Amino acid sequence: MKLRILGLLAALLIGAAAPAMAQTAPRAPSMAEEMEVQALLRGGSIQGRISIPDEKAATLIQPEGREWREFHNVTLAWVGGIAVLGMLAVLAFFRLSKGRIPIEGGAAGRTIQRFNVLERANHWMVASCFIILGLSGLNLTFGRHILLPVVGPEAFTAISQWGKYAHNFLAFPFTLGLVVMLLIWIKDNIPNARDIAWFKAGGGLIGHGHPEAGRFNGGQKMVFWITVLGGAAVAVSGYLLVFPFFFTGMEGMQLSHIIHSLLSVLMIAAILAHIYIGSIGMDGAFDAMGSGQVDLNWAKQHHALWVQEEMAKGRTAAPPPGAKASGAD
Amino acid sequence: MARMKFLLDAERCIECNACVTACKNEHEVPWGINRRRVVTINDGKPGERSISMACMHCTDAPCAAVCPVSCFYTTADAVVLHDKDLCIGCGYCFYACPFGAPQYPRLGNFGSRGKMDKCTFCAGGPQADNTQAEYIQYGSNRLAEGKLPLCAEMCSTKALLAGDGEIIASIYRERVQKRGYGTGAWGWRTAYRETVAI
């Protein structure tokens, strides 16, 4: 930044002295050109007038492209690589050091309904979209280094082309699913004091105690808000990218890409942890989104307050018509 | 082998757009795509200059650096070309290019913008030289016929020079020394990381 300011000052000084010099001796044109460019660059890119309809073509030189290239090739590759591989390493460490988290006292054999059909269907719609969106997105940054040498250029182009179509079109069910998630789960995901206690106790993964939690514990609420808020930001920036130059100019497109890709790799890392704890990381957890019926002991271990609430509902619920008290016969 | 470059002498360009027309006609470039364009800066004000701009065939080309499918390659003449059969039309090269060279047949349609098109330095593409297949995808291949890019060849004021970088730089150097002024080779530092020393 300092260098740039110095350059501008030099440009102004030399620019003022130039007309006098031009009459006598050839000034260094390379210098003068760069100075002129520098002076013009004060406003960023060099804009001119053009006689064709494409307004973007009126930009003669856009230096921001260099920064975007640096971001795409260096920053994003590092952030994405560290986020995704780092998270996988952390999860592998957990698996090896802690093993699979068991249900305390073993399975009760009795189950309790945790997620209904709508909740599960919506979850898997978002999840399947997310996996394809994530893989096709990662492919755009890392595919040429990892997949291209393996499958060859033609096959890689075919994969990337279909990945791009899938990425563009699955954005819509993904966004719809996020809205549904927000509507059906927000009431159980308002952060409260119990979440702080839950995090202080180290949560379900690190801690040994089992802090009481309602329907969703602090970690799950975090996943919910990462999905909803992160997903919203990724969706908005993604729609700007999928309709190129409809809503914004060059800087807007570059910025959209930066926001979209950075948030996406961070979300991928977060969701990897979510997938781990919901599948191989913990006994009994997958049932919640699989059959929707979780083991009662699992539920008591992780969501004691929720179980109490559900049980209370059961006690006060009206008996089905025609039901007879047991032992009445 | 020569290191092919474009050089635009802004003191000579009269914004006649003959380079644009020549390019369009030579390669039958479709409507909406401009491989070359003339931008006028400071229009109607002191210091007005017109600059004919196309792909500069950069050293360490940004388009090639960011392409997710690595469809770019550099020829022995240092011309930056791309393979349209590999291009997925993602638009990344346009975000990275300092000169706005990459063009797309479609603007939107859910980001499916079609195969990118850009100036080939009249050097065609990866198909066999001067075949119909090459012509349809990339236009004519004048370099293979021993000719230089048509835009520069038919520039009436010889503002636009195309050819071996050393030779066109020396032509420009001679001009500047003779007339005593010049604003330099536009875009050279950005494209080639060097300028024409006088």
Mean pLDDT of A34-62: 76
Q: What pLDDT, on a 0 to 100 scale, did the predictor assign at position B180?
A: 86
Mean pLDDT of A24-32: 47
Mutation site for A-interface testing, chosen from B6, B95, B190 by largest number of A Cβ within 10 Å:
B95
Mean pLDDT of A45-55: 85
On the 0-12 / 13-18 / 19+ scale of CB atoms within 10 A, B144 is middle
Helices (H), A99-208: 117-146, 148-151, 153-185, 193-200
pLDDT of A230 higher than 60: yes
Cα atoms in the 13 Å half-sphere on the side-chain side of A232: 9
pLDDT of A153 higher than 70: yes
Q: What pLDDT, on a 0 to 100 scale, did the predictor assign at position A43?
A: 52
Report yes or no: B78 and B4 within 8 Å, Cβ to Cβ.
Answer: yes
**More confident call, A63 vs B75:** B75
- Partner-chain residue, chosen from B38, B180, B190, that has the shortest CB–CB distance to A61: B190
For residue B4, give Cα distances in angstroms to A56, A257, B138, B155, B169.
27, 33, 18, 17, 11
Q: What pLDDT, on a 0 to 100 scale, did the predictor assign at position B79?
A: 97
**More confident call, B121 vs A300:** B121
Cross-chain residue pair A154–B176, CB shorter than 8 Å: no
- Partner-chain residue, chosen from A28, A57, A153, that has the shortest CB–CB distance to B37: A57
Which chain B residue shows the shortest CA-CA distance from A57?
B100
Report yes or no: A139 and A147 within 8 Å, Cβ to Cβ.
Answer: yes
Q: What pLDDT, on a 0 to 100 scale, did the predictor assign at position A209?
A: 64
Cross-chain residue pair A57–B86, CB shorter than 8 Å: no
Integer Cα distance of B41 and A298 in angstroms? 71
CA distance B197 to chain A (A): 7
Mean pLDDT of B26-43: 92
Chain B partners within 8 Å of A61 (Cβ): 98-99, 187, 190
Which chain A residue shows the shortest CA-CA distance from B86?
A157
Q: What is the mean pLDDT of chain B?
A: 92
**More confident call, A121 vs A320:** A121
Fold that domain B4-192 belongs to in CATH: Alpha-Beta Plaits (3.30.70)
> What percent of chain B has a predicted confidence (pLDDT) above 90?
77
Q: Which structure tokens are listed for A99?
A: 């093993």
> What CA dihedral angle connects B169, B174, B178 and B184, to 10 degrees?
10
- Partner-chain residue, chosen from A157, A241, A250, that has the shortest CB–CB distance to B88: A157
- Give one DSSP letter per residue of B66-101, joined into a string: H-TT--EEE-TT--EEE-TTT-----HHHHH-TT--
Report yes or no: B150 and B26 within 8 Å, Cβ to Cβ.
Answer: yes
Q: At A61, phi and psi to the nearest 5?
A: -135, 130
- Partner-chain residue, chosen from B68, B87, B176, that has the shortest CB–CB distance to A140: B68
CA distance B114 to chain A (A): 11
Chain B partners within 8 Å of A51 (Cβ): 17, 38
Q: Which segments of chain A belong to CATH 1.20.950.20?
A: 64-316
Residues 6+ apart with CB under 8 A from B160: B6, B7, B8, B9, B13, B19, B52, B151, B152
Chain segment A310-320, per-residue pLDDT in tens: 888 877 777 77
Mean pLDDT of A130-157: 96
Q: What pLDDT, on a 0 to 100 scale, did the predictor assign at position A119?
A: 96
Chain segment A263-278, per-residue pLDDT in tens: 999 999 999 999 999 9
As for the ipTM of the complex, it is 0.91
Best CA proximity match to A39, nearest among A60, A19, A12, A3: A12
Q: Could you tell me which CATH number the domain at A64-316 has?
A: 1.20.950.20
Chain segment B158-173, per-residue pLDDT in tens: 999 999 999 999 999 9
Integer Cα distance of B78 and B72 in angstroms? 12
Q: What pLDDT, on a 0 to 100 scale, did the predictor assign at position B131?
A: 95
Chain segment B53-106, per-residue pLDDT in tens: 999 999 999 999 999 999 999 999 999 999 999 999 999 999 999 999 999 987
Integer Cα distance of B34 and B65 in angstroms? 23
- Partner-chain residue, chosen from B71, B181, B187, that has the shortest CB–CB distance to A22: B181
Confidence band (pLDDT; 50, 70, 90) for A133? Answer: very high
Q: How crowded is residue A110: how many other Cβ atoms within 10 Å of its Cβ?
A: 10
Chain segment A166-213, per-residue pLDDT in tens: 999 999 999 999 999 999 999 999 999 888 888 887 766 666 666 778
Chain B partners within 8 Å of A250 (Cβ): 95
Compute CA A45 distance to the chain's CA centroid, rounded to the nearest angstrom: 31
Q: What pLDDT, on a 0 to 100 scale, did the predictor assign at position A46?
A: 80
> What percent of chain A has a predicted confidence (pLDDT) above 70?
82
Confidence band (pLDDT; 50, 70, 90) for A246? Answer: confident
Q: What pLDDT, on a 0 to 100 scale, did the predictor assign at position A27?
A: 46
Chain segment B121-158, per-residue pLDDT in tens: 999 999 999 999 999 999 999 999 999 999 999 999 99
pLDDT of A22 higher than 60: no
Chain segment A1-15, per-residue pLDDT in tens: 444 444 444 444 444
Q: How many separate helices (H) and strands (E) can be counted in chain A?
A: 14, 4
Q: Which structure tokens are listed for B37?
A: 């364009």
